[in-house]
Chain A
Amino acid sequence: MTTDRREFLAAAGKYLILTGAAAIAFDKVMAGVPSEAENYRSADHWWAFYVDIDKCIGCGNCVRACKTENNVVNEPYYFRTWVERYHITAENPLHPQVDSPNGGYDGFPERYAAGDGSKNFFVPKMCNHCADSPCEQVCPVGATFRSPDGVVLVDKKYCLGCRYCVQACPYGCRYIDPRTNTVDKCTLCYHRITKGQTTACAESCPTGARKLGDLKNPKDPIHDFLRQNKVQVLKPHMGTGPKLYYAGLDGSVR
């Protein structure tokens, strides 16, 4: 049997391609699947957050704690969590005046007079960690995702900074980090809650107005909170399945 040059090159090309494919397949087999984190099973948790409006004093401790814990850029003022002050007059109950000086980072200087018949309260805000999050759905590269335990997170290595998710979030919870030009948001202190700690904002809240809850843990106090209070979520008509529950929320809060 004789082999001419043409046949030899064709056969050699075939083997070269097949060897490459086999090498990659072999690498995958040898590497195995990424190991699960120790002592934490994401399938055992379904994280949520709850806020008691009647306990919030607008001190800004949560805003400062969040920035410290998560190295959030301070100025220009971006926030993973912030506090809003609502001022609602009796004449115009559905159109509140809302302010949030520096997100509540420095507290709230008195602005409204006492005893004028108006309604005033604080509303802490953060990512709602939606079960059907629009931000996750619009991400073109799989950088924003919902973890198996119900936390909406960002893969900084994959984020292109396209800002689509910033527009998609109905709660305004996302911003572009000017240092990395990638999107940033509340992680529900994922690095803490997976170690058995609570979030930095809940840890530093002096009145217990904001707390982390695990809906899959039957002993978690969040179940009592949801049973015993009149609870509302923000923008339920958007169908995002938010898991940030508010007790005592006024209907004018958006």
Chain B
Amino acid sequence: MRETLKDRAHLLRVAAVFGAGLVLFVIVRGLLVPEDFGKYGHYRAGALNDIRATAPSFAGREVCAECHTDEAGLLKKGKHAGLGCEACHGALAKHTEDQEKQKPAKLDARKLCLTCHTANVAKPKKFPQVDPAEHGEGAACTSCHVPHDPMGDAK
């Protein structure tokens, strides 16, 4: 028995080296892996808050309606009732923060209306479409239609 383990000191040294390596690994891993890694799954839970931190550009129609009650009320009665304000007016979250300095851009009514209402065979048949060459003679759509109540249903 004594013969077989006579060099056991060598084994202890190797074990000590492995042990030290393990401790070093645990320390380095502890320093490199964020503590929230693995909280919900194999990822860094803090990434959720990183992504959430972005500020929205679109305020949402409810926010617009808080101030622009007349327009929102008119819109609700007409054919454009389902439209969000920013579908036409563009992203206006900045305007909700500073109404004086961040004014919405003026809209080119004909171009804007035709973005949706230009005839196209791929559009649903029941969607109102016009051929710009035949309809309106190049005039601004707003000379006949009220954008917030395009077919005059609210009157």
The interface of chain A, by Cβ under 8 A from chain B, is 17, 20-21, 24-25, 28, 31, 33-34, 37, 42, 54-61, 65, 68-70, 85-87, 107-108, 110, 112-114, 118, 120-122, 142-148, 153-158, 187, 189-192, 194-195, 197-198, 200, 203-208
Contacts and interface: CB of A to CB of B under 8 A. Distances in A.
Q: Which of A31, A114, A155 has the most CB of B within 10 A?
A: A155
B48 interface: yes
Contacts of B42: 142, 145
A142 B124 contact: no
B121 A113 contact: yes
A161 B41 CA distance: 21
Interface string B52-86: 11111110110000000000000000001011101
A153 B86 CA distance: 26
A200 B124 contact: no
B84 to A, nearest CB: 5
B18 interface: no
B37 A142 contact: yes
B104 to A, nearest CB: 14
Interface of B: 20, 23-24, 26-27, 30-31, 35-37, 39-58, 60-61, 80, 82-84, 86-88, 90-91, 115-116, 118-124, 127
Contacts of A33: 35-36, 39
Smallest CB-CB A-B distances: 3 pairs? A145-B43, A155-B47, A120-B122
Given A65-B91, A190-B51, 20 more contacts: A25-B30, A28-B35, A34-B35, A34-B39, A37-B52, A57-B124, A60-B115, A68-B90, A69-B58, A87-B122, A110-B118, A118-B121, A121-B124, A147-B40, A157-B50, A158-B44, A200-B57, A204-B58, A204-B86, A205-B84
A187 B119 contact: no
Contacts of B84: 203-206
Contacts of A70: 54
A200 B58 contact: yes
A156 B46 CA distance: 11
Nearest to A199: B58
Nearest to A34: B36
A37 B39 CA distance: 14
Contacts of A107: 115, 118
A195 B54 CA distance: 11
16 contacts: A21-B23, A24-B30, A34-B39, A54-B124, A57-B120, A110-B120, A112-B122, A120-B121, A122-B122, A146-B41, A147-B48, A153-B51, A158-B44, A194-B52, A203-B87, A206-B116
A197 B60 contact: yes
Contacts of B118: 107, 110
